[in-house]
């Protein structure tokens, strides 16, 4: 009896141990399966987020390339601070100030930031002494954002600098040859003036001295018409000037007209002399920044261009115009 009892007790003891081992094994199995489930779900989430990041990066790169395409066609279309892009007639175009794009779950925003340069032409901060805004350079910032749930979002950003490297230019630096040249041929002549201009010194236009130490208070000069030889987009206008520090009233301002070609001669000129506002029916706006201003897209796709320079003084001294440069592409 004692022998049987001991055997029975031994069997019960092993049975209890086996149950415990099974429970532990099941717990470990459940833990492993749960961990694998979390890992798999995390992997799927990571893959989804990676896919979204890849798509967003591609959209950001596309935004940069779209702006490059617009730059190559017509730099002076880059006039907005923020704009989306769209394809019109198989070409990229800007959608307008303050717009963005909703592309599926993604929002694309393109910002156009000014580029400042110092007297050496190097990029500078806007508040650096002597810094000026370069109209032939832009910093482009393309941001693509999307919602990742739970009230959170993610974004990618691409930044680049663009310059109008492929532009051509027409420059005049001398007027000593005088008036009477309607079509550009001699590089030191011009079309006409109002009689109060002095071009007797090479490389300078000043107000005429009408009496001893007394100058005309204002005057203007109109250039010869320049032929770009093909349809062109007129991009920007620059000039070099010297303004006497003792004359706060002294200034130089410019306007332009453009025309299509008519068998090798200018066709009908734009209706009014205009500045950065373009052909708006009046002649009240002028280009006033010698460091450069964009020309309105109204003048795109013409072939001929001419400028009018207006000089203003205080009768005791005169501003000096030294060069005019017009960019086109």
pLDDT in tens, 190-219: 999 999 999 999 999 999 999 998 999 999
Domain residues for the domain of 235 are 168-328
Considering only residues 179 and 39, tell me which one the structure prediction assigns the higher pLDDT.
179
Verify that 301 and 173 share a domain, yes or no. Answer: yes
Q: Which sign, positive or negative, has the C-alpha torsion 71, 77, 80, 84?
A: negative
Mean pLDDT, rounded, for 235-246: 96
> For residues 25 and 85, what is the distance between their CA atoms, to the nearest angstrom?
61
Give the per-residue pLDDT at 78. 94
Mean pLDDT, rounded, for 122-142: 93
| Number of structural domains in the chain | 2
Give the per-residue pLDDT at 35. 62
Cβ contacts of 225 within 8 Å, gap of 6 or more: 182, 183, 184, 191, 259, 266, 304, 305, 306
Domain boundary at 115, 136, 165, which?
165
Is the full-model pTM beyond 0.85?
no
Considering only residues 201 and 31, tell me which one the structure prediction assigns the higher pLDDT.
201
Domain boundary at 165, 182, 215, which?
165
Verify that 223 and 293 share a domain, yes or no. Answer: yes
Verify that 287 and 172 share a domain, yes or no. Answer: yes
Verify that 182 and 160 share a domain, yes or no. Answer: no
Please say if the pLDDT value at position 7 is more than 70.
no
Give the per-residue pLDDT at 29. 65
Verify that 182 and 249 share a domain, yes or no. Answer: yes
Considering only residues 41 and 328, tell me which one the structure prediction assigns the higher pLDDT.
328
Residues constituting the chain: 329
Give the per-residue pLDDT at 110. 98
Mean pLDDT, all residues of the chain: 89
Verify that 319 and 172 share a domain, yes or no. Answer: yes
Neighbour-count burial of 101, counting CB atoms closer than 10 A to its CB (0-12 exposed, 13-18 middle, 19+ buried): middle
Mean pLDDT, rounded, for 233-252: 96
């Amino acid at each position: 009896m004692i022998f049987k009892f001991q055997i029975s007790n031994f069997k019960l003891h092993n049975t209890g141990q086996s149950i415990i081992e099974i429970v532990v094994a099941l717990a470990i199995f459940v833990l492993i399966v749960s961990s694998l489930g979390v890992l798999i779900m995390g992997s799927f989430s990571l893959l989804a987020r990676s896919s979204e990041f890849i798509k967003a990066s591609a959209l950001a790169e596309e935004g940069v390339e779209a702006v490059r395409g617009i730059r190559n066609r017509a730099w002076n279309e880059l006039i907005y601070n923020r704009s989306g892009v769209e394809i019109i007639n198989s070409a990229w175009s800007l959608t307008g100030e303050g717009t963005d794009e909703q592309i599926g779950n993604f929002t694309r925003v393109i910002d156009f930031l000014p580029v400042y340069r110092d007297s050496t032409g190097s990029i500078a901060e806007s508040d650096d002494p002597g810094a000026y805004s370069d109209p032939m350079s832009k910093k482009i910032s393309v941001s693509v954002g999307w919602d990742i749930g739970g009230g959170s979002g993610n974004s990618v950003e691409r930044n680049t600098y663009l310059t109008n490297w492929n532009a051509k230019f027409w420059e005049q630096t001398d007027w000593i040859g005088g008036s009477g040249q309607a079509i550009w041929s001699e590089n030191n002549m011009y079309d006409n003036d109002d009689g109060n201009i002095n071009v007797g010194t090479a490389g300078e236009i000043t107000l005429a001295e009408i009496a001893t130490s007394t100058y005309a208070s204002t005057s203007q000069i109109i250039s010869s018409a320049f032929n770009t030889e093909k349809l062109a987009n007129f991009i920007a206008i620059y000039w070099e000037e010297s303004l006497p520090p003792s004359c706060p009233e002294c200034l130089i301002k410019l306007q332009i007209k453009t025309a299509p070609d008519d068998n090798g001669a200018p066709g009908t000129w734009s209706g009014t002399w205009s500045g950065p506002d373009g052909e708006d029916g009046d002649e009240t706006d002028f280009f006033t920044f010698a460091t450069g201003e964009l020309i309105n897209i109204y003048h795109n796709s013409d072939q001929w261009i001419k400028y009018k320079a207006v000089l203003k003084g205080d009768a005791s001294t005169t501003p000096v115009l030294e060069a005019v440069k017009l960019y086109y592409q």
